[in-house]
Amino acid sequence: MIPNKKVKILATLGPAIKTQDDIRQLVEAGVNLFRLNFSHGEHADHAQRYDWVRAVEQQLNTPIGILMDLQGPKLRVGRFAEGKVMLERGQTLRLDLDSTPGDAQRVNLPHPEIIEALQPGMSLLLDDGRLRLQVTSKQSDAVITEVIAGGELSDRKGVNVPEAVLQLSPLTDKDRRDLAFGLELGVDWVALSFVQRPQDIIEARELIGDKAFLMAKIEKPSAVIHLEEIARLCDAIMVARGDLGVEVPAENVPRIQKDIIRTCRQLGKPVVVATQMLESMRFSPAPTRAEVTDVANAVAEGSDAVMLSAETASGDYPLEAVQMMSKIIRQVESGPDFQAQLDVGRPQADATASDAISCAIRRISSILPVAALVNYTESGASSLRTSRERPTAAILSLTPNLNTARRLTVAWGIYSVVNERLHKVEEVTSTALEIAQAQGMAQRGDTLVITAGEPFGQPGSTNSLRIETLH
């Protein structure tokens, strides 16, 4: 698997992927890690797909990451006596805790935490934002609202509360069962939905421990407000533009996306841009021009990875969607101004030996024709600091830990090879030259930059840099 792009592809698995060979084709087309969406499917389905990915990983001898995406709380209205109603603009609608089937004047809202958090003047969004209500008054067990934007409302449609922080854990009983199952399987990443505040990350981290890395999905306005605190506490961020685009004005989403990418890069945390990137390819073998531009912009802005959801999970053209995304990424990365754009947003380095070396690597690779940057890492931390610099050359990460290699599959420009634990810097140099050539990342006469640290094998000890020519 010769690296041919730096931005990674995260693809969702679902019923459209029917065999192990389907997964192999997606990896060969450019997928670096896979998402198991626990909002759909049974545990047996996810276990089967997990096993397929691990089998392909062995076949291709390349680390492949697996992310489990927890569903999170699903807020919905109750049922209607006739299955649906038509709400007219200006009318009153009562939402209450009474489980009796509703009508056009009232409906059950089986979430006391929403009623508790709402205040007069706040908005409620129904059915993915298609209907908008405004709270006019509040009672102990109900809120009275005015319909601002009406339409048809049917049973169990979703509710969004953009202006309130709900006293609600992001982990439901279902999520806790799913999480225990996923961690037992051996997933590398856990994506946490419904994040509202930093405490939500702490709660999830206590359950996950060191069994997997934690990715926070930014889809709530309160999470945007607390972005930096949340990003510091987790291992990566997902820009979940679906729910985010419902809860904030759509025209604000591009700016928020840029802010999230910039914050994550400054902190050295990988960031994934997700939702509807090539949505039309669910039913068409070609994307719209707007979708191509959307993916290209995410790449140009410096995101670590871009995600395919229904396109690969349930679409008619999963392989074509991955191939198209790979082509867009390579096209942007080969552009004359791509590196200059990334350099403009280069983050401020910390006053550490590791960051000093990472900055030097980037500078050296812009002066010399460096074929690859080789980094020996146990935990992956030094490779992530190098990735944060967005250097010109690809990063070959040598690690003795398969879990580290799998978890780095989401990070920009890093390609990992699992190698036995080395004991001194000289071993790193000879091994790096050998592996870079074997991986097709370098050939005779090419220059490599190699970093490692002493005391050897100690996280955070990167303190040496060598420039070597492959003979």
Which domains are seen in the chain, by residue range?
A: 8-73+170-336 (3.20.20.60), 84-160 (2.40.33.10), 348-469 (3.40.1380.20)
Report DSSP state, residue 317.
Answer: -
pLDDT reading at 50 higher than 80: yes
Q: Decide if 76 is catalytic.
A: yes
Rg (alpha carbons) of the chain, rounded to whole number: 24
pLDDT(213) > 70: yes
Beta-strand pair 65-69/394-399: unpaired
Q: What is the pLDDT of residue 346?
A: 83
Helix, strand, coil in percent for the chain, rounding step 5: 40, 25, 35
Is 197 designated active site?
no
Residue 272 corresponds to which tokens in the numbers above? 């994934």
Q: Is 156 helix (H, G, I), strand (E, B) or coil?
A: coil
* Cβ–Cβ under 8 Å, residues 80 and 54: no
- Mean pLDDT (the chain, rounded): 94
What percentage of the chain has pLDDT greater than the value 70?
98
Confidence of residue 1 (pLDDT cuts 50, 70, 90): low
Lowest mean pLDDT among 41-55, 157-171, 347-361: 347-361
Q: Is a pLDDT exceeding 90 seen at residue 348?
A: no
Helices (H), 213-252: 221-225, 227-233, 241-247
pLDDT at residue 424 in the model: 73
pLDDT, average across residues 150-158: 97
pLDDT bin (cut points 50, 70, 90) of residue 39 is very high
Pairing label, strands 84-87, 151-154? antiparallel
Structure tokens at 229: 């605190």
Percent of the chain with pLDDT over 90: 82
- Going by the DSSP 8-state scheme, the letter that residue 346 receives in this structure is P
Q: Where are the beta strands (DSSP E) in 48-140?
A: 65-69, 84-87, 92-96, 106-108, 123-126, 131-139
Q: Which of 139-148, 350-359, 419-428 has the lowest mean pLDDT?
A: 419-428
Active-site residue (options: 76, 94, 174, 262): 76
User: CA–CA separation, 374 vs 362, rounded Å?
Assistant: 12
Compute the distance between CA of residue 122 and CA of residue 36 in angstroms, rounded to an integer.
35
Q: Which of 5, 6, 8, 35 is catalytic?
A: 35
pLDDT tens by residue, 58-107: 999 999 999 999 999 999 999 999 999 999 999 999 999 999 999 999 99
**Active-site pick, 12, 263, 275, 312:** 275
CA distance 337 to 331: 12
pLDDT tier at 144, thresholds 50, 70, 90: very high
Residue pLDDT, tens place only, 374-413 = 998 889 998 999 999 999 999 999 999 999 999 999 999 9
Phi first, then psi: what are they for 195, rounded to 5°?
A: -75, 125
Q: Is 145 a catalytic site residue?
A: no
Structure tokens at 386: 């190098």
Positive or negative: CA dihedral 216, 292, 158, 155: negative
Beta bridge partners of 372: 394, 448
Residue 368: what residue type?
L
Residue 340 has pLDDT above 70, yes or no: yes
Q: Is 464 exposed, middle or buried (0-12, 13-18, 19+ CB in 10 A)?
A: middle
What confidence tens digit (pLDDT) does each residue in 168-197 have? 999 999 999 999 999 999 999 999 999 999
The answer to whether the beta carbons of residues 87 and 95 sit under 8 Å apart is no
H helices of 30-122, where? 43-60, 112-117
Taking Cα atoms as reference points, which of 76, 357, 34 lies closest to residue 185?
A: 34
Q: 230-272, pLDDT tens digit by residue?
A: 999 999 999 999 999 999 999 999 999 999 999 999 999 999 9
Please pick, among 157, 217, 269, 385, the residue that the annotation labels catalytic.
217
In the structure encoding, which two tokens stand for residue 255, read together? 């700016």
Q: How confident is the model at residue 146 (pLDDT cuts 50, 70, 90)?
A: very high
pTM check: above 0.85: yes
pLDDT, tens digit, for every residue of 287-298? 999 999 999 999
Instruction: Give the separation between CA 430 and CA 153, rounded to whole angstroms.
Output: 66
204: nearest Cα among 243, 172, 238: 172
Please give the pLDDT value at position 345. Answer: 82
Residue 346 is among the residues annotated as catalytic for this protein: no
Bigger pLDDT: 60 vs 453: 60
CA dist., res. 80 & res. 94, Å (int): 13
pLDDT value at position 460?
Answer: 60
Q: Six-digit token pair at 383?
A: 């490779």
Interacting residues of 365 by C-beta distance below 8 A, sequence separation 6+: 373, 391, 392, 393, 449
Mean pLDDT calculated for residue range 423-442: 85
